[in-house]
Structure 1
Amino acid sequence: MSAVGIQDEFFYFAYGSNMLRGRLQLQNPSAVQVSVGCLKGHELAFGFKGTVESRWGGGAASIIPSPKKEVWGIIWRLKADDRQSLDDQEGAQEGLYSPIEVKVEEKVMGEVICLTYQMNNFQFSLPSPLYKKVIIQGAKESGLPSEYIMKLDSILTNNYNKMTPFTIQINEILNHQQNNAAM
């Protein structure tokens, strides 16, 4: 199955902040979770492109090749109309991330070819506490394996907590989802 799925849709593999439904649907309203998936031969890493700092106040997620590692994430189905919005969100036009196709293992469908993004000119950097919280909340709400969530929880952060319009918006999404979960 190709990344451009049936008709005007495609599969997207999210492994970072876009695992959180409210975060992804903010700019890509057609996103529907298909399943949890595993990308073999890669590992999750956090960093910047060169010296460019992310709006998250720390490193952003990327995948880097690593033969014996794996990255868990979410397989989303999006309408083709959302592709440009997703590229824009990931900074593809500015060269921050490059869109790539990956083979993601899913237990019912088998191998699914998905679009994902990989950071260009990657420089390691710790993520902010907010970024880590978004990833963990997305992993929990989407049903990633508990062992992988524990691995995410062990990630060190840079302790950056400055509030910006972007981080305020993300905190509102987190609070809204936590309030809905409590009901």
Structure 2
Amino acid sequence: MFYFAYGSNLSRARLQARVPEAEPVAVASLPEHRLCFHKVSRRDGSGKCDALYTGDRGDRVLGVIYDVSDEGKRVLDRIEGLGHGYDEKQVVVELGDASRRRVWLYVASDIDAGYRPYGWYKQHVLAGAREHGFPSAYIDVIEAVETVEDLDVDRHYRETAIYQRGD
């Protein structure tokens, strides 16, 4: 199955910590959508990513298509909270060679513009964007997103430890 990751799962280390067999296939863009950090996480009280449909052809969400097994999708459905803050939808993304591919992704069903991501969450998104060579202007937009401090120091450490392993 082809999964379009655009948030924290952009990071190969992050996604493979969850679904070890997931393999990146291609960088792609989703037209008429805008990257937002307004998905409400009831689990930790922060904002997570959403690919918000705008209908504006000038808006694009960049992401990575990953090949994920059926079992891997079930794992992601559970971790992402399918039906509890995220829904899934099929979309057509555009690849760099002007081809298109049908993929599935998670979109937020519980949003609030007042929520902000934790710094470690934004770090996952930035790590993935840099790893996959996203344009600097797109990375600048992500870097400009305001974060809040996660007071759970252990969670912060767990989330950032994957980048300390030297993999």
TM-score by length of 1: 0.82
Q: What is the Cα-based RMSD across aligned positions, in Å?
A: 1.8
Contact 1:134–1:174 at 8 Å: present in 2 too?
A: no
Q: Whole-Å Cα distance in 1 between the matches of residues 76 and 109 of structure 2?
A: 16
Which residue identity lines up with residue 162 of structure 1 in the other structure? L
- Give the aligned residue type for 2:6: Y
The gaps in structure 1 that reach 5 residues or longer are 1-9
Structure 2 unaligned residues grouped into runs of 5+: none
Task: Count residues in correspondence.
Answer: 164
Partner of 2:77: 87
Which of 53, 56, 59 is the aligned partner of 2:42?
A: 53
Which residue among 89, 94, 108 is the counterpart of 1:119? 108
Residue 165 of structure 1 and its aligned partner are, at CA, apart by 4.3
Work out the CA distance in 2 between the residues paired with 1:110 and 1:90.
28
Percent sequence identity is: 29
Q: Matched residues in 1 for 2:110 and 2:69: separation?
A: 29
Q: What's the secondary structure of 2:28's corresponding residue? A: strand
Q: Map 1:9-158; keep pairs closer than 5 Å.
A: 10-49=1-40, 53-55=42-44, 58-68=46-56, 69-93=59-83, 95-108=84-97, 110-124=99-113, 125-158=115-148
Q: What TM-score does the superposition give when structure 2 sets the normalisation length?
A: 0.89
